[in-house]
């Protein structure tokens, strides 16, 4: 696979992710939440960008991962790595179950069904307040640290942990995309009816992709739980599903780095705008989205690559 080799820009990108440790030690808490959101956006990219499944309910998996991690820490053990694996698996189970329904639909019906499942799950979590703590959030657990490093006030450990998980997940995603399976997915996205004819069982492929994305989203949720020692209904909310979709489109769907770039730009912009103007920051975020769409079609990465290819 020619594409599977790391491009120099990619080395540069990942080297830059280490810069906050040196250049912005006061921004590491933010950086850790950006890394978590980037992982979440990457998981959405797997299904939206590569398999063409537009989801407005992706927070379902993020939330299941987050709650599973919280419940494990509360009732069983507080070691995060194993907790994350179990939580991601739990999200994967839900993803696999739902995938049987979801992959059979396209277009608006697909979007609304994912939205519906997400909302139903959020309502269920609210109702099951004995298990989830309801609107007050899950209480009574604390994750002290990971691999002997304590989660500190500055977010050093939190960022290192989130970044490590993001990087590993990214390598996995990259492998998937460049494998024959990834190629088949893109084929299905372009023409769903033709692929079975050339020997790619499209529904089974889509189910697999959907499940993998759910696992990854669950891992992201678990890392959020571990690094903040809090879980609330917000992890399952429609708002979180919509936000991650916005970030992915902003960065550029179907480009592997799209979700990462989108999460970085959206969250840094939000942090800066809301720091300067806490009451009306969303005006400026809105302006940013509008400007990006007008200037750069198909997201920031899509627009930039189109600009580069354009003959001058």
Return residues touching another protein (CB under 8 A): 26-27, 29-30, 33, 54, 101, 105-109, 111-113, 115-117, 119-120, 123-124, 126-127, 129, 134-137, 139, 142, 153-155, 224, 228-234, 238-239, 242, 245-246, 249-250, 253, 274-275, 278-283, 285-290, 292-294, 297-299
- Cα–Cα separations (whole angstroms), residue 268 to 134, 258, 262: 30, 15, 10
Of 203 and 285, CB closest to another protein: 285
- By CB atoms closer than 10 A (0-12, 13-18, 19+), residue 145 is middle
User: Nearest distance from residue 100's CB to another protein, in Å?
Assistant: 12
Of 72 and 162, CB closest to another protein: 162
Of 187 and 303, CB closest to another protein: 303
- φ, ψ for residue 149 (rounded to 5)? -95, 130
Of 1 and 97, CB closest to another protein: 97
Of 112 and 204, CB closest to another protein: 112
CA–CA separation, 247 and 253 (whole Å) = 9
Of 201 and 297, CB closest to another protein: 297
User: Nearest distance from residue 235's CB to another protein, in Å?
Assistant: 8
């Amino acid at each position: 696979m020619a594409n599977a080799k790391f491009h120099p820009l990619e080395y540069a990108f990942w080297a830059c992710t280490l810069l906050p440790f040196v250049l912005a030690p006061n921004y590491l808490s933010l950086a850790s939440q950006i890394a978590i959101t980037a992982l979440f956006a990457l998981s959405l990219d797997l299904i939206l960008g590569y398999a063409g499944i537009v989801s407005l309910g992706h927070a379902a998996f993020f939330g299941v991962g987050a709650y599973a991690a919280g419940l494990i820490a509360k009732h069983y053990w507080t070691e995060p790595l194993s907790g994350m694996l179990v939580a991601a698996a739990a999200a994967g189970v839900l993803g696999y179950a739902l995938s049987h329904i979801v992959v059979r639909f396209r277009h608006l019906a697909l979007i609304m069904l994912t939205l519906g499942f997400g909302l139903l799950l959020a309502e269920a979590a609210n109702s099951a307040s004995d298990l989830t703590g309801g609107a007050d959030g899950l209480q009574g657990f604390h994750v002290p640290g990971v691999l002997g490093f304590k989660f500190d006030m500055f977010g050093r450990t939190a960022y290192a942990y989130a970044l490590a998980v993001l990087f590993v997940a990214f390598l996995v995603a990259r492998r998937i995309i460049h494998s024959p399976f990834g190629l088949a997915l893109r084929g299905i996205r372009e023409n769903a009816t033709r692929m079975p004819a050339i020997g790619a069982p499209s529904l089974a492929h889509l189910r697999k992709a959907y499940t993998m994305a759910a696992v990854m989203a669950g891992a992201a949720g678990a890392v959020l739980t571990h690094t903040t020692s809090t879980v609330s209904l917000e992890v399952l909310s429609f708002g979180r599903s919509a936000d991650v979709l916005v970030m992915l489109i902003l960065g550029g769907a179907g480009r592997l780095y799209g979700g990462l770039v989108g999460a970085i730009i959206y969250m840094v912009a939000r942090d800066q705008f809301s720091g300067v103007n806490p009451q009306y920051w969303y005006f400026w975020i809105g302006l940013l989205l509008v400007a990006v769409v007008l200037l750069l079609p198909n997201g920031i990465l899509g627009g930039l690559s189109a600009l580069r290819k354009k003959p001058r």
